[in-house]
Amino acid sequence: MTIPQPHPAAQPAEEPAGPAQPAGPAAAKQSAAPYLVPFLIGALVSIALGVYGRAHTPTGYAVGLAGFSGAQAMKSWLTTGTLLLVIVQIVSALVMYGKIPGVRGPSWIGGLHRWSGRAAFLLSVPIAFHCLYALGAQFDVPRVMIHSLLGTFFYGVFVAKMLSLPKKNLPGWVLPVLGGLAFTALVGLWLTSSFWFFTTFGITL
């Protein structure tokens, strides 16, 4: 007995093949691009600041704020204030993301996190301006050399972090790593400036 065959029109039409999806190394490069670009821009900022610090002729004076005995005292106290505000940022971030067991963040914790970061940046601007314009990047003394390198590194990481914040679907490690690097650089800046000043000249304005 002959089995009836379905009419050709009844056969399901083959779906047109879509555009080929990148696979293997190409897909990895494509997925890495969103967070590699901020890293690259941050690196360029660090290099640009370092080059300017070396090429610019130091003026010896850039900015002075009332209430301080000198530029070094101003830098030391502003750096200390910046470090304290960044610590507030870290603690508030841990609370927001539930990383501290038994602590539930209040509704205002997000605002505290954002505004402490903004205040920390504003405090750091006079420091950076004075260092770059009045002193430049100096490599003669080990402490000053480390301080200069950490300063350019800190702002490069800061730029990379700010550019990464609006991006979606970033790997979970990107922002914590950038924040940790910025905090580590700031601690190094405090040790090579504020701590040195306070232990050398005393805690004075």
Residue 11 CA to chain centroid, in angstroms? 59
Terminal CA-to-CA distance of the chain, rounded, Å?
107
Q: Is the pLDDT of residue 29 over 90?
A: no
Mean pLDDT value of segment 122-128: 89
Pick the closest to residue 32 from 171, 176, 180, 178 (CA basis): 171
* pTM, full prediction: 0.76
The ranges assigned to domains in the chain are 45-201
Q: Is the pLDDT of residue 186 over 90?
A: yes
pLDDT at 79: 92
Highest mean pLDDT among 126-130, 135-139, 148-152: 148-152
Confidence of residue 62 (pLDDT cuts 50, 70, 90): low
Q: What is the dihedral of CA 173, 176, 181, 185, to 10 degrees?
A: 180
Mean pLDDT value of segment 185-205: 90
Residue partners of 100: CB distance under 8 A and separation at least 6: 94
- Helix, strand or coil, per DSSP, at residue 45: helix
Mean pLDDT value of segment 82-109: 85
Mean pLDDT (the chain) is: 80
pLDDT at 189: 93
pLDDT at 187: 94
